[in-house]
Amino acid sequence: METANYLVLLTFLFLLATHRVVSRRRRHGKGGPPGPPLALPVLGHLHLLEKPLHHSLARLAARYGPVFSLRLGSRDAVVVSSADLARECFTEHDVTFANRPHFPTMALMTYGGKTIGNCAYGPHWRHLRRVATVHLLSARRVSSSMLPTITAELRAMVRRLHRAAAVAGGGVRIELRQRLFELSLSALMETIAQTKMWRGTAVVDDDDAATDMSPETQEFKESLDLLIQFFVAANTWDLLPMLRWLHVLGVKNKIAAAVATRDAFFQRLIERHRLKDDVGEGDKMSMLGVLLSLQKSEPDKYSDDIIMALCFSMFSAGTETTAGATEWAMSLLLNHPEVMKKAQAEIDASVGTSRLLDADDVPRLGYLQGIISETLRLYPVVPLLVPHESTVDCTLGGHHIPSGTMLLVNTYAIHRDPTVWADPTAFRPERFSAADAEGLLLMPFGMGRRRCPGETLALRMLGLVLGTLIQCFDWDTVGGAAGVDMAQGVGLTLPRAVPLEAMCKPRQVMLDVIRKL
């Protein structure tokens, strides 16, 4: 027995020593990037990482440089934390890093890796990208169909906030993220499937219509919430194959249940749309209508699974982008009321107080655009870009990067680099009106050929939503608190640690306009 134990110990020590030597050769054998020296068996460098991950990687970058290597469980990774290296990745090496790493657990949520954001680089991705840019998110469709729908849903939200404030006797306490998420979800439901999210609104268009969410939509929303939460965690589980053997302590069953609910909802939308007599024409046709018409001519390219994958990409990205970015913007404005007043003054001077601003007004509001840019700089939509993977060996920043290396780009660190941005942690929208802001890299939606195809829609929607909230209401902290806690939570899209609550009161100069909505 003692001999057996001795042999087991020797075997373990041999494997540990071999693992360390191989890891060191992988990193440095061909001039690879520097990195932490100790990579544990199985875990690699995962024990060095804390949440939020972008903060942890920024601290490692301060020690090992703007490009460094890590062993993340079963995968080799390289982390980029400078604007110059990010440009090099997505210009000179754009094709090399255009692929996505395959994560089995993530595949459960993305139709086997068929969504536009997670599929492998190749013919399928090119097909989805063309469908998105030409048929679903073209500039003409965004302007003629999507923005009017978003405007209508936004005005309905303004009416609800006004009524709630009137009942409360002036100002009302609201949880902003919940309202913003529901706004985005409602606009997407109408745009994608011409389906109303709120019960009662499909039958009557009255201020007194019921505004409770239908059970079907509530169930879908809960499944969407759950899947979005699992996006980041799934990557971590897949870095450690042993967790897959344990079925992640039952989490895979939760994912499977949420996926089943989501897919059943999408399938019902598809079947209902097939039965519709009037689905509109041209740009007035819903996204599902467009996809189903394409399915008739090319059924192999537009299966129901592909249609659902495109819908899921729209819902998951569209809801989180606007809700999260607007919540951070309002948090910053509550901590800087002088900026809020300046933005209101700009809107009053440019748009007036006799009507609500519309989508065409937003590009002319330079200070509002500065607020949006500064918010996305400080709190980028995705602080760590969706992981990329190299398909061939390349040289990055003078370092050898082997094929199959996972690339993590720390957008959060790049946007706060003190060598690039003056006073990088300060909220200063004015910096984007200055000539010296030209050429500075902002990449909240990614860069290169895998850049988010919905960026234009997201920015226009964000400007419209934020501008309307600023124009119509005065905002204050709850209980007159000195400021809003800006603590960050954990997630793919940089959530607040605690959802923002604020006091909302209609502006006197806009009351007549709001009452007529």
Return the domain boundaries, the chain: 2-515
pLDDT at 89: 97
- Nearest to residue 99, comparing CAs of 74, 80, 82, 124? 124
Contact present, 380 and 444 (Cβ < 8 Å): yes
Nearest to 316 by CA among 232, 412, 235: 232
pLDDT, the chain, mean: 87
* Spans in the chain with pLDDT lower than 70: 1-30, 198-212, 232-237, 241-250, 277-283, 435-436, 438
pLDDT of residue 2: 52
Alpha-carbon distance of 430 to 367, in angstroms, equals 7
Length of the chain counted residue by residue: 517
Buried b (16+ CB within 10 A) or exposed e, 255-293: beebbebbbebbeebbeebeeeeebeeeeebbbbbbbbe
Question: Cα separations (Å) of 496 from 471, 490, 493, 516?
Answer: 24, 8, 10, 34
Does the annotation place 452 within a ligand binding site? yes
CB burial string 120-157: b at 16+ within 10 A, e below? bbeebbebbeebbeebbbbeebbeebbbebbbebbebb
Q: Answer for the pair 116, 128: CB distance below 8 angstroms, yes or no.
A: yes
pLDDT tens digits along 128-150: 999 999 989 988 889 988 999 99
Taking domain 2-515, whether its CATH number is 3.30.530.20 is answered by: no
Query: What are the residues whose beta carbons fall under 8 Å from the beta carbon of 155, sequence distance 6 or more?
Result: 356, 468, 517
Strands (E), 349-479: 388-389, 394-396, 399-401, 406-409, 473-477
Instruction: Look at the block and give the residue holding tokens 């604007």.
Output: 83
Find the angle CA(382)-CA(368)-CA(322) to the nearest 5 degrees.
35
Single-letter amino acid, residue 356: L
For residue 496, what are the β-bridge partners? 488
